Amino acid sequence: MLPLVLASGSHYRRDLLSRLNLPFEHESPDIDETPLPNETAESLVRRLSEAKARTLAAKYPDHLIIGSDQAATLENKILGKPLVFERARDQLMNAQGKSVTFMTGLSLLNTRTGHCQSDCIPFTVHFRNLDEATIERYLRTEQPFDCAGSFKVEGLGITLFRSTEGEDMTSLIGLPLIRLTDMLLKEAVLLP
Protein backbone atom coordinates (compact mmCIF):
# COMPACT_ATOMS: atom_id res chain seq x y z
CA MET A 1 0.00 0.00 0.00
CA LEU A 2 1.19 3.47 -0.83
CA PRO A 3 1.50 5.77 2.19
CA LEU A 4 -1.33 8.24 2.76
CA VAL A 5 -1.09 12.01 2.99
CA LEU A 6 -3.96 14.26 3.98
CA ALA A 7 -3.63 17.58 2.14
CA SER A 8 -5.21 19.63 4.88
CA GLY A 9 -4.43 21.63 7.98
CA SER A 10 -7.89 20.92 9.41
CA HIS A 11 -7.95 19.08 12.72
CA TYR A 12 -11.55 18.10 11.91
CA ARG A 13 -10.38 16.23 8.79
CA ARG A 14 -7.46 14.64 10.66
CA ASP A 15 -9.84 13.38 13.36
CA LEU A 16 -12.16 11.92 10.73
CA LEU A 17 -9.36 10.20 8.79
CA SER A 18 -8.07 8.72 12.05
CA ARG A 19 -11.32 6.74 12.28
CA LEU A 20 -10.11 4.52 9.41
CA ASN A 21 -7.18 3.39 11.57
CA LEU A 22 -4.66 3.92 8.76
CA PRO A 23 -1.31 5.64 9.23
CA PHE A 24 -1.08 8.99 7.45
CA GLU A 25 0.88 12.19 7.27
CA HIS A 26 -0.75 15.56 6.88
CA GLU A 27 0.35 18.85 5.41
CA SER A 28 -1.56 21.99 4.61
CA PRO A 29 -1.26 22.91 0.92
CA ASP A 30 -0.79 26.56 0.07
CA ILE A 31 -3.42 27.34 -2.55
CA ASP A 32 -5.69 30.26 -3.37
CA GLU A 33 -9.22 29.24 -2.38
CA THR A 34 -10.95 32.22 -3.98
CA PRO A 35 -13.95 31.19 -6.08
CA LEU A 36 -13.69 31.92 -9.79
CA PRO A 37 -16.25 34.32 -11.29
CA ASN A 38 -19.67 32.60 -11.53
CA GLU A 39 -18.22 29.35 -10.16
CA THR A 40 -20.79 27.07 -8.54
CA ALA A 41 -20.17 25.58 -5.10
CA GLU A 42 -19.83 22.11 -6.64
CA SER A 43 -17.28 23.27 -9.23
CA LEU A 44 -15.36 25.17 -6.55
CA VAL A 45 -15.00 22.25 -4.15
CA ARG A 46 -14.12 19.79 -6.92
CA ARG A 47 -11.43 22.15 -8.24
CA LEU A 48 -9.99 22.93 -4.81
CA SER A 49 -9.96 19.34 -3.52
CA GLU A 50 -7.96 18.22 -6.56
CA ALA A 51 -5.71 21.30 -6.43
CA LYS A 52 -4.89 20.59 -2.78
CA ALA A 53 -3.83 17.03 -3.63
CA ARG A 54 -1.84 18.03 -6.72
CA THR A 55 -0.03 20.84 -4.86
CA LEU A 56 1.70 18.25 -2.65
CA ALA A 57 2.39 15.72 -5.44
CA ALA A 58 6.02 16.70 -6.08
CA LYS A 59 6.88 16.39 -2.40
CA TYR A 60 5.13 12.99 -2.08
CA PRO A 61 5.89 11.14 -5.36
CA ASP A 62 4.89 7.62 -4.21
CA HIS A 63 1.81 8.37 -2.13
CA LEU A 64 -1.95 8.53 -2.10
CA ILE A 65 -2.86 12.13 -1.39
CA ILE A 66 -6.31 13.03 -0.09
CA GLY A 67 -7.64 16.49 -0.89
CA SER A 68 -10.96 17.81 0.37
CA ASP A 69 -12.78 21.11 0.34
CA GLN A 70 -16.22 22.21 1.44
CA ALA A 71 -18.67 24.99 0.72
CA ALA A 72 -21.98 25.63 2.43
CA THR A 73 -24.77 27.16 0.37
CA LEU A 74 -27.93 28.94 1.42
CA GLU A 75 -30.32 29.89 -1.37
CA ASN A 76 -27.51 29.23 -3.91
CA LYS A 77 -25.10 31.64 -2.17
CA ILE A 78 -21.82 30.32 -0.75
CA LEU A 79 -21.42 30.86 2.99
CA GLY A 80 -17.88 31.34 4.21
CA LYS A 81 -16.46 30.64 7.63
CA PRO A 82 -17.85 33.36 9.90
CA LEU A 83 -14.64 33.87 11.93
CA VAL A 84 -16.41 36.22 14.37
CA PHE A 85 -19.52 36.07 16.56
CA GLU A 86 -21.51 38.69 14.62
CA ARG A 87 -21.13 36.95 11.26
CA ALA A 88 -21.96 33.58 12.80
CA ARG A 89 -25.11 35.05 14.34
CA ASP A 90 -26.11 36.54 10.98
CA GLN A 91 -25.49 33.23 9.18
CA LEU A 92 -27.62 31.28 11.64
CA MET A 93 -30.37 33.91 11.66
CA ASN A 94 -30.52 33.73 7.86
CA ALA A 95 -30.50 29.90 7.93
CA GLN A 96 -33.15 29.41 10.62
CA GLY A 97 -36.24 27.69 9.22
CA LYS A 98 -34.39 27.04 5.92
CA SER A 99 -32.08 24.44 4.41
CA VAL A 100 -28.32 24.72 3.96
CA THR A 101 -26.57 22.37 1.55
CA PHE A 102 -22.93 21.46 2.08
CA MET A 103 -20.96 20.45 -0.98
CA THR A 104 -17.85 18.50 -0.04
CA GLY A 105 -15.27 17.88 -2.73
CA LEU A 106 -13.03 14.85 -2.36
CA SER A 107 -10.01 13.80 -4.41
CA LEU A 108 -7.62 10.89 -4.05
CA LEU A 109 -4.45 11.29 -6.12
CA ASN A 110 -2.09 8.39 -6.74
CA THR A 111 1.17 10.24 -7.34
CA ARG A 112 2.85 7.10 -8.67
CA THR A 113 0.36 6.68 -11.54
CA GLY A 114 -1.02 10.22 -11.75
CA HIS A 115 -4.58 8.85 -11.52
CA CYS A 116 -6.96 11.07 -9.56
CA GLN A 117 -10.42 10.06 -8.36
CA SER A 118 -12.70 13.02 -7.62
CA ASP A 119 -16.26 13.46 -6.44
CA CYS A 120 -18.59 15.93 -4.77
CA ILE A 121 -20.80 14.72 -1.94
CA PRO A 122 -23.82 16.87 -0.99
CA PHE A 123 -25.41 16.93 2.44
CA THR A 124 -28.37 19.10 3.46
CA VAL A 125 -29.23 20.40 6.89
CA HIS A 126 -32.80 21.56 7.58
CA PHE A 127 -32.76 24.13 10.38
CA ARG A 128 -35.39 24.53 13.06
CA ASN A 129 -37.10 27.88 13.48
CA LEU A 130 -34.71 29.58 15.90
CA ASP A 131 -34.88 32.82 17.82
CA GLU A 132 -31.95 35.15 18.30
CA ALA A 133 -31.53 34.23 21.98
CA THR A 134 -31.20 30.53 21.13
CA ILE A 135 -28.66 31.27 18.41
CA GLU A 136 -26.59 33.53 20.65
CA ARG A 137 -26.67 30.98 23.48
CA TYR A 138 -25.44 28.31 21.07
CA LEU A 139 -22.65 30.50 19.67
CA ARG A 140 -21.40 31.48 23.11
CA THR A 141 -21.32 27.84 24.19
CA GLU A 142 -19.71 26.22 21.14
CA GLN A 143 -17.94 29.11 19.34
CA PRO A 144 -18.02 27.50 15.85
CA PHE A 145 -16.39 30.48 14.16
CA ASP A 146 -14.00 28.35 12.06
CA CYS A 147 -16.88 26.29 10.60
CA ALA A 148 -18.77 27.00 7.38
CA GLY A 149 -22.42 27.38 8.31
CA SER A 150 -21.55 28.47 11.87
CA PHE A 151 -22.19 25.18 13.65
CA LYS A 152 -20.51 21.93 14.68
CA VAL A 153 -22.67 18.91 13.90
CA GLU A 154 -20.38 16.78 16.05
CA GLY A 155 -21.33 18.94 19.02
CA LEU A 156 -24.34 20.99 20.08
CA GLY A 157 -24.98 22.13 16.52
CA ILE A 158 -27.16 19.07 16.07
CA THR A 159 -29.77 20.74 18.31
CA LEU A 160 -30.28 23.44 15.67
CA PHE A 161 -31.63 20.99 13.07
CA ARG A 162 -35.07 19.55 12.47
CA SER A 163 -33.59 16.99 10.04
CA THR A 164 -30.67 16.15 7.78
CA GLU A 165 -30.51 14.63 4.34
CA GLY A 166 -27.58 12.90 2.68
CA GLU A 167 -25.60 9.73 2.21
CA ASP A 168 -22.68 10.43 4.53
CA MET A 169 -22.86 12.49 7.73
CA THR A 170 -19.03 12.75 7.79
CA SER A 171 -19.18 14.86 4.62
CA LEU A 172 -20.83 17.52 6.77
CA ILE A 173 -17.72 17.66 8.98
CA GLY A 174 -15.44 17.93 5.94
CA LEU A 175 -14.19 14.48 4.88
CA PRO A 176 -16.72 12.00 3.44
CA LEU A 177 -15.42 8.71 4.80
CA ILE A 178 -17.85 6.45 2.93
CA ARG A 179 -16.79 7.82 -0.46
CA LEU A 180 -13.14 7.96 0.64
CA THR A 181 -13.35 4.27 1.57
CA ASP A 182 -14.62 3.51 -1.97
CA MET A 183 -11.67 5.40 -3.44
CA LEU A 184 -9.12 3.74 -1.16
CA LEU A 185 -10.45 0.28 -2.02
CA LYS A 186 -9.96 1.06 -5.73
CA GLU A 187 -6.32 1.77 -4.85
CA ALA A 188 -6.04 -1.65 -3.11
CA VAL A 189 -5.89 -0.20 0.40
CA LEU A 190 -6.97 -2.86 2.87
CA LEU A 191 -9.81 -1.75 5.14
CA PRO A 192 -10.54 -2.20 7.98
Please check whether residue 8 is in contact with residue 65, taking contact to mean a CB–CB distance below 8 angstroms. Answer: no
Please check whether residue 94 is in contact with residue 52, taking contact to mean a CB–CB distance below 8 angstroms. Answer: no
Catalytic site includes residue 69 = yes
Give the burial class of 145: count Cβ atoms within 10 A of its Cβ; 0-12 exposed, 13-18 middle, 19 or more buried: middle
Nearest to 80 by CA among 44, 128, 120: 44
Nearest to 68 by CA among 133, 8, 153, 148: 8
Please check whether residue 100 is in contact with residue 146, taking contact to mean a CB–CB distance below 8 angstroms. Answer: no
Please check whether residue 132 is in contact with residue 85, taking contact to mean a CB–CB distance below 8 angstroms. Answer: no
Give the active site residue among 69, 119, 131, 146: 69
Catalytic residues: 69
